[in-house]
Structure formats: structure tokens, C-alpha cells
Copies of this chain bind each other. A is one copy, B any other.
Amino acid sequence: MPVHAGLLRLRSRADGEILDITAGVAAVVGQAQAPVAVATAFVVGSTAALTTMEFEPGGVRDLQEALERLLPRDGDYAHNRLNHDTNSHAHMRAALVGPSVSVPVVDGRLTLGTWQQVVLLDFDDRPRERSVHVHVAS
């Protein structure tokens, strides 16, 4: 099959939690058994996002604090007012970072750097179950 499809299910505490999902993405790539391919990961939902980063406690905290400074949880937000909701900050952060990331595969492996992981950022303000689709095109 030219596109191999995998699905990761994760549980997050949300509130800006950042999860390293590299092993899950790599497992789907392994199943695809394609030497040369493109792996695309996509998170379902509008309050979470995907990117890559060095997944270590300091960088995780810095990114969380920077996003809180740039797009604070508390504010006079129309989304919250109109929908009696509390997570407008999560929607804005997710739209800015984006839901998808694509990583080329060479020799059957993701071409990530040594200190570069695929991460899910869950910006919602309550624990969530998250679905990440991983499609490997070859």
C-alpha cells in the first residue's frame, strides 16, 4: 500500500502539557517498511498542536511560559464570552503552532536530529484523550 496508516491514542493532562510522541510515530514508520517515505503526523482537534523540539524539562517549561506570556489564558476573549467557554487561549495557540508536521524517512527511519523529538502540545484546560494520525507515504 503506498500510504500506510497508523493511529496513536494518548491521554494528556492538558494545561499546556507537552508529550513526546516520537516513539509512536517511529513505530508506525517501522510498520510501513518503506526505505524512502514521508511521515505526516496530524492531531485531531482544535486545542492541540504538533511540532518538533528538544524534549527536555527546561525547554518544555520555557516554551510553556512563552506561550502563556504571548497568548495568556486569562483575557477578555470573545470565544469564551460567546460560547460560555474557558479555552480561547488554547484555540489560539493551537492555530498558531499548527496541527501537522511532516518528517522525511530515509533508510526506513525518521530523519529527526539527535535532540529533536516530535511533540504534541495540548493547550486545552482539562484532561483529554487525543488521536494522532500518522500516515507514511512511499
A residues lining the B interface (CB < 8 Å)? 1-3, 5, 34, 36-38, 40, 42, 44-46, 51-54, 56-59, 61-63, 66, 70-71, 77-83, 88, 91-92, 94-106, 111-113, 115-116, 119, 131, 133-135, 137-138
In the complex the two chains form, is B103's CB within 8 Å of A101's CB? no
Classify the interface of chain A: helix, strand, loop or mixed.
Answer: mixed
Q: How far is it, in angstroms, between the C-alpha of A134 and the C-alpha of B98 when the chains are bound?
A: 17
Q: In the complex the two chains form, what is the Cα distance from A44 to B46 in whole Å?
A: 24
Number of copies of chain A assembled together:
3
Some 6 contacts from A to B, beta carbons below 8 A apart, are: A2-B2, A2-B138, A5-B36, A42-B104, A46-B115, A99-B103
A80 neighbours in B (Cβ, 8 Å): 58
User: Contact at A83–B95, with CB atoms within 8 Å?
Assistant: no
Contact across chains for A97 and B99 when beta carbons are under 8 A apart: no
**Contact of A62 with B42 in the complex, beta carbons under 8 Å:** no
Distance, CA A135 to CA B103, complexed state (A): 9
